[in-house]
């Protein structure tokens, strides 16, 4: 027995969310095999533009038991993004003329990078300089949702802890390093006090109960 989930997102950097989603499923007693997939719609000859079309194509190409739809809040409120996403799901059901797999909205405040700004060890590992001694000032966890640009903050921290200079610094790609940070984190519970993370966890817990996936 396994549970297959697909993550639909706007960009490749959002793959960083997948270890977090798997961890949350495990936390809520999903003990069977979990098979995650990222819906890479960019490679299609004609990538869909509307959210409803993206949902339909994702389900067709990456069949799943659970669909995660990631939308950064950015300048919108969590409620506004949630409403937009739910409208997209309803439109996709009309297009498909059938009920879709359960869907969960993943809506970090501003950007998903905010959820990666709490573990210095993981940043050092992802930077390729795990034993570096460069001092780093992590933002207070209870304020990461208030950062105007979490992505910029995260990338700067990665550059700082990498210790790269000169030619190495020019070749350093913080965007690529950011994608793997979550792979070095075993426990995401420090995020429990963040509003958007709590909303995501509550949705996952409800779906797991409704589907009877707690084995």
The string of pLDDT tens digits covering residues 84-137 is 999 999 999 999 888 899 999 999 887 899 999 999 999 999 999 999 988 899
What pLDDT is attached to residue 109? Answer: 82
Residue 215 has pLDDT above 70, yes or no: no
| Cβ atoms of residues 64 and 104 within 8 Å | no
Spatial CB neighbours of 7, under 8 Å, sequence gap ≥ 6: 14, 15, 17, 18, 21, 36, 37, 38, 39, 68, 70, 106
∠ CA 11-90-78, rounded to 5°: 55
Percentage of the chain modeled with pLDDT above 90: 80
Specify if 189 maps to a domain.
no
Q: Are residues 93 and 24 in the same domain?
A: yes
Residue 198 has pLDDT above 80, yes or no: yes
Q: Are residues 79 and 131 in the same domain?
A: no
Q: Considering the entire predicted model, what is its pTM?
A: 0.93
CB neighbours (10 Å) of residue 71?
23
Question: In whole numbers, what is the pLDDT of the chain averaged over residues?
Answer: 93
For residue 99, the 8-state DSSP code is P
Q: For residue 97, what are the domain limits?
A: 2-109+194-211
User: What does the pLDDT average to over 13-27?
Assistant: 96
What pLDDT is attached to residue 62? Answer: 96
134 — phi, psi (to 5°)?
Answer: -60, 130
Specify if 78 maps to a domain.
yes
For residue 101, the 8-state DSSP code is P
Q: Are residues 69 and 149 in the same domain?
A: no
Q: Are residues 65 and 150 in the same domain?
A: no
CA atoms within a 13 Å half-sphere pointing along the CA-CB vector of 24: 25
Q: Are residues 135 and 61 in the same domain?
A: no
Q: Are residues 119 and 163 in the same domain?
A: yes
Residue 173 has pLDDT above 80, yes or no: yes
Residue 55 has pLDDT above 90, yes or no: yes
Specify if 54 maps to a domain.
yes
* Burial group, residue 32, by CB count within 10 angstroms (0-12, 13-18, 19+): exposed
- CA 15 – CA 22 distance, rounded (Å): 12
What pLDDT is attached to residue 33? Answer: 95
CB neighbours (10 Å) of residue 182?
23
- pLDDT band at residue 77 using 50, 70 and 90 as cut-offs: confident
Q: Are residues 105 and 123 in the same domain?
A: no
Beta strands in the chain (DSSP E): 2-8, 33-38, 66-70, 103-106
CATH of the domain at 76: 3.40.50.2300
- pLDDT band at residue 73 using 50, 70 and 90 as cut-offs: confident
Q: Are residues 10 and 58 in the same domain?
A: yes
Domain count, the chain: 2
Give the least confident one: 64-68, 74-78, 127-131, 173-177: 74-78
- pLDDT band at residue 80 using 50, 70 and 90 as cut-offs: confident
What pLDDT is attached to residue 39? Answer: 96
Q: Are residues 48 and 141 in the same domain?
A: no
> For the CA atoms of the chain, what is the radius of gyration?
18
Specify if 179 maps to a domain.
yes
Q: Are residues 57 and 117 in the same domain?
A: no
Q: Are residues 142 and 176 in the same domain?
A: yes
- CA 163 – CA 126 distance, rounded (Å): 12
- pLDDT band at residue 182 using 50, 70 and 90 as cut-offs: very high
């Amino acid at each position: 027995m396994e549970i297959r989930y697909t993550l639909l997102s706007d960009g490749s950097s959002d793959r960083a969310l997948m270890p977090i989603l798997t961890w949350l499923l495990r936390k809520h007693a999903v003990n069977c095999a979990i098979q995650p997939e990222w819906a890479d719609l960019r490679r299609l000859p004609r990538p869909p533009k509307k959210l409803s079309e993206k949902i339909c194509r994702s389900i067709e190409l990456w069949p799943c038991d659970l669909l995660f739809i990631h939308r950064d809040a950015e300048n919108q409120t969590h409620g506004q993004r949630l409403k937009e996403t739910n409208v997209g799901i309803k439109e996709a059901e009309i297009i498909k003329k059938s009920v879709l797999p359960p869907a969960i909205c993943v809506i970090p405040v501003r950007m998903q990078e905010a959820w990666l700004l709490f573990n210095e060890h993981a940043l050092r590992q992802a930077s390729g300089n795990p034993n570096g001694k460069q001092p780093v000032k992590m933002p207070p966890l209870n304020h990461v949702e208030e950062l105007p640009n979490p992505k910029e903050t995260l990338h700067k921290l990665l550059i700082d802890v990498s210790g790269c200079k000169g030619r190495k610094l020019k070749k350093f790609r913080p965007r690529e390093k950011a994608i793997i940070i979550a792979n070095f984190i075993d426990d995401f519970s420090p995020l429990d006090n963040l509003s958007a993370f709590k909303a995501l966890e509550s949705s996952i817990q409800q779906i797991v109960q409704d589907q009877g996936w707690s084995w």
